[in-house]
Amino acid sequence: MSALSAPAAAPAAAPSPAAPYSPLAAGWRAQALAALEDGRVAEAHEWLRQALAEATELEWLNDLAVLSHQLDRAEDADALLRAALAIDPLRADAAENLAALSAAAESAFALRSSQATSSERRHTWRGSRTLGGPDPGMYERAFPGMPRPDIISEHTSRYAYALSLVGGRHVLDLGCGTGYGSEMLSWSAASVRGFDLWRPAPEEHPSWPGVPELSYGHDLCQDPLPHADAAVMFEVIEHLPDAPRALAIAFGAVEEIVGSFPNPVYHGSWMNQYHVNDWSLERFEQELHAAARASGRFAGVELTHHHQALRSPLLQPGRDPESSYWVVHARGVGA
């Protein structure tokens, strides 16, 4: 690793036979053996340590440790550096390199642990019992694995339609919920940022591979939004206490909105406690026009209509006030 010192440069030379022990080292080794025979182990250890320090090129041990590390032989490098320090505890180069080696190992372990934790969280957050909201009898938001495949099928069809409109563009997913739609949008968009009022508990915080940023605790009726090319607002406008204001804020950040609204005849507040706006299709269109003007950026909107029949995930082109869901692509026009 780069933190380890490189071996000292030396002129190339042919290997030579190992030099015999110096008389001093040999004498200290004899002293060590004598002390050991007398049972003086600590004294024998010290004599032999001094003999090794005299007879061993400790700088070479350090250099060999560096090379071992460069060959990804971290255990060998660790053993060599510890041997050098056992012989001479005051060697600064070996001490520094051993510290660097330990730091590198800790960093690699932390990275592996973080990746494992992240991977585990990606797989376990979906098991939360409250992903859909507090009432299992009436879901507040759609989520992967929900026991109503008809609902998730209807919802994902709208995101699938939006994929054709956001290719290569920067997109806001307003009312992103659990983020499954944000993930879908990332398949064609240049970037996707999700925003939702929901504050998930840490163990149920959604994580998706394609969407790095899901912002929770964001009030669409009052909090500002970053500028982007387009926004999608699926399954959210009917939930907002000040939907006109939320639409105006959105048009202040983007030039077009792809939004959905449920026909209150089938999905109104009379049967869903989370829906607070019971708009007709005409009212939905009027609010889109008014919001574009209120943003101060546009004179109005140009609309393209799609709709979904009751209990059908298929989007049909055209305007149908009697359909179960309306999906409208609103583009700001004029100034």
Range ranked top by mean pLDDT from 33-42, 62-71, 307-316? 307-316
pLDDT at 13 over 70: no
| Residue spans per domain, the chain | 23-108, 149-333
Q: What percent of the chain has pLDDT over 90?
A: 50
Domain 149-333 fold is Rossmann fold (3.40.50)
pLDDT at 1: 46
Note whether 225 and 195 are within 8 A (CB): yes
pLDDT at 18: 46
Strand partners, 216: 196
Calculate ∠ Cα 169-175-177, nearest 5°. Answer: 105
**Tokens matching residue 281:** 């299709």
pLDDT at 191 over 50: yes
Among the four given CATH numbers 1.10.10, 1.10.3470, 1.25.40, 1.10.150, the one describing domain 23-108? 1.25.40
Q: What single letter denotes the amino acid at residue 43?
A: E
Residues 94-152 pLDDT 10s: 888 888 887 877 676 555 545 545 555 556 888 888 888 888 778 888 888 888 888 89
Q: What single letter denotes the amino acid at residue 28?
A: W
pLDDT at 114: 53
**Tokens matching residue 123:** 């797989």
* Global model pTM greater than 0.75: no
Average pLDDT taken over every residue of the chain: 86
pLDDT at 325: 97
Give the residue with greater pLDDT, 66 vs 166: 166
Q: Please, which pLDDT band fits residue 37 given cuts at 50, 70 and 90?
A: confident
Residue 310 CA to residue 305 CA, distance in Å, equals: 16
